[in-house]
């Protein structure tokens, strides 16, 4: 796979899925802007990339803050160059508690929407015009396979990730004529280094047993799809949602 330009932005890149996306994109040849609310984590992942011979810089930003996202874009272009790939991965999930819909506070609901939906929108709004001006770009929005299964206990999260799919489709229609492709990736329940109090090992094994592939999903199962969607190999793919969950929900 080849790339026209070599700068990729990954939000929420300091841990979990974002960490793996950063490392995989760097290995595939992109200079990576590792963006995270925790600057120390972002710099640590950037350091891992550089230690392996790649190019990366860590950046701090709250993606739900419009001014912060605008500053971020300027900093990345100044530090790494023009961006051709944006992976909207930043989201609230691992810290959420499971519960019935009527137990979700309005404050929690709004915060999940602010980060998971508005944050994705703001990053697209900032970077898509820059890609359009260059005539080429790739946006990969991270949704969730929970949208297809209607998983209970996470109404706020599932709703936010369904919104990301709608955003992906509508934006793809708008920016396609300018050479910008927009797709979504829907991961299944994925084991990472980030601990989650809401899922036990037994529960994870049970979910794995319900998939076609019968094993626990890990972050490395997703990176090939991200690299594909970021590369020229997917240049005629846009507005799509690719479900990567080992065969739990057939979509």
Which residue is it, tokens 């920016």? Answer: 175
Catalytic hit among 101, 136, 154, 157: 157
Cβ contacts of 233 within 8 Å, gap of 6 or more? 1
Q: Does residue 136 carry a catalytic annotation?
A: no
- Which ranges of 135-179 does DSSP label H, i.e. alpha helix? 146-149, 155-175
The torsion region of residue 171 among left (phi > 0), alpha (psi -120 to 50) and beta comes to alpha
Nearest partner of 23 among 208, 220, 156, 180, judged by Cα: 220
CB proximity list for 152: less than 8 A, separation 6 or greater: none
Count the neighbouring beta carbons within 10 Å of the beta carbon of residue 110: 12
Among 249, 219, 248, 244, residue whose Cα is nearest residue 15: 219
From CA 133, how far away is CA 118, in angstroms rounded? 23
Catalytic residue numbers read 157
């Amino acid at each position: 796979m080849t790339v026209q330009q070599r700068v990729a932005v990954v939000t929420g890149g300091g841990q979990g899925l974002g960490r793996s996306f950063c490392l995989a994109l760097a290995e595939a040849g992109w200079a990576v802007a590792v963006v995270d609310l925790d600057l120390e984590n972002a710099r640590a992942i950037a350091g891992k990339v550089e230690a392996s011979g790649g190019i990366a810089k860590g950046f701090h930003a709250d993606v739900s803050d419009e001014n912060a996202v605008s500053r971020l874009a300027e900093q990345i272009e100044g530090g790494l160059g023009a961006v051709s790939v944006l992976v909207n991965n930043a989201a609230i999930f691992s810290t959420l508690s499971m519960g019935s819909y009527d137990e979700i506070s309005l404050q929690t609901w709004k915060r999940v929407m602010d980060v998971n939906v508005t944050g994705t929108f703001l990053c697209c709004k900032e970077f898509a015009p820059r890609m359009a001006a260059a005539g080429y770009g790739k946006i990969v929005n991270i949704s969730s396979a929970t949208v297809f299964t209607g998983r209970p206990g996470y109404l706020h999260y599932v709703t936010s990730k369904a919104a990301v799919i709608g955003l992906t489709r509508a934006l793809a229609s708008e920016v396609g004529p300018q050479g910008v492709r927009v797709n979504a990736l829907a991961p299944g329940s994925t084991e990472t280094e980030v601990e989650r109090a809401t899922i036990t090992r037994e529960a994870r094994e049970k979910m794995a047993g319900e998939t076609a592939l019968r094993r626990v999903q890990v972050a490395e199962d997703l990176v090939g799809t991200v690299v594909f969607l970021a590369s020229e190999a997917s240049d005629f793919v846009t507005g799509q949602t690719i479900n990567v969950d080992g065969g739990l929900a057939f979509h």
